[in-house]
Chain A
């Protein structure tokens, strides 16, 4: 079965008519806006039907002051086709409001999503519901801020210093 990106989009539209929002194409890259509640279903559908085996990356964007809802969580999915043309990469985007920064975890679909979601949690404070082990991954575990949020000053070293001093005292 040969698969094209158009087929993937069409079948997503048919299967989840209410969950698929805007679809943008820029320089041959396709981004699909997806309803927040259905991200896990859509991911597992794509994996089962179209063999999107590889979760390339999960990341987030903070549109503070530019857009509401404030956050977007972005998923890069990849399919290794038998032919070069069938190597398909698709980008899913989920809008996440500031008041309730939560998304369903996709670790049950790809276990590789585990650390990627932890990184997004660490940097943006977006919680992944159903994640087996949602701890900080880069910053110290008792760190108090979410450094990649736009309202955090990147030069603010105070939270890091506090974690450092605590670590010194406790000897960990």
Chain B
């Protein structure tokens, strides 16, 4: 990537880059989250979207309740096996490229619920990119997770086509 203002090129200045770099730059700064909130952590996630913590500062405030229009799934809350198939299905419905944040101890490893109904970590059935511990995590922790996703997109990117 480089800014070129040489008079040979007309002097207006333009940027040379790779398509994948610019696509990932756009992706990283306009994440559209799909909030999969099933329990108490979801309240904290709403706090992140709302004005006090304001995720729109990171370009990720457009919470899409339709998986077809989202590329970041924030799983926040206890996931039971009955819900797990729904969760997986919604993930499958999201278009590529997509990322997953596991928010809270429940999604990371079952949390306080070592019981017959609760999945002990959503990585049993979903590819998780960032884990956020805490019960529930502070909004800052979720913002940090979103920033880590941004970093991941920037560093590794995703294929453009």
Q: Which residue of B lies closest to A163 (CB)?
A: B81
Interface segment, one of B13-21, B26-34, B83-91, B140-148: B83-91
B38 CB to nearest chain A CB (Å): 14
Whether A171 sits at the interface, judged by CB under 8 Å, is yes
Residue in contact with A164 in the complex, picked from B81, B114, B115, CB distance below 8 Å: B81
Residue in contact with A157 in the complex, picked from B81, B85, B89, CB distance below 8 Å: B81
Task: Give chain B's interface residue range (CB within 8 Å of chain A).
Answer: 10 to 19
Whether B107 sits at the interface, judged by CB under 8 Å, is no
Whether A155 sits at the interface, judged by CB under 8 Å, is yes
Q: Are B116 and A154 in contact (CB under 8 A)?
A: yes
Convert A141-172 into 0s and 1s, putting 1 for each residue whose CB lies closer than 8 angstroms to a CB of B: 00001010000111111011101100110011
Whether A90 sits at the interface, judged by CB under 8 Å, is no
Q: How far is the CA of A140 from the CA of B84 in the complex (A)?
A: 11
Interface residues in B108-131 by Cβ distance below 8 A to A read: 114-117, 120, 125
8 contacts across the A-B interface (CB closer than 8 A): A140-B82, A145-B116, A155-B114, A157-B116, A160-B82, A163-B82, A167-B85, A168-B125
A contact residues vs B (CB 8 Å cutoff):
139-140, 145, 147, 152-157, 159-161, 163-164, 167-168, 171-172
Q: A139-B82, A154-B115, A163-B82 are in contact. List 6 more A-B contacts (CB 8 A).
A: A147-B117, A155-B114, A161-B81, A164-B84, A164-B125, A167-B85
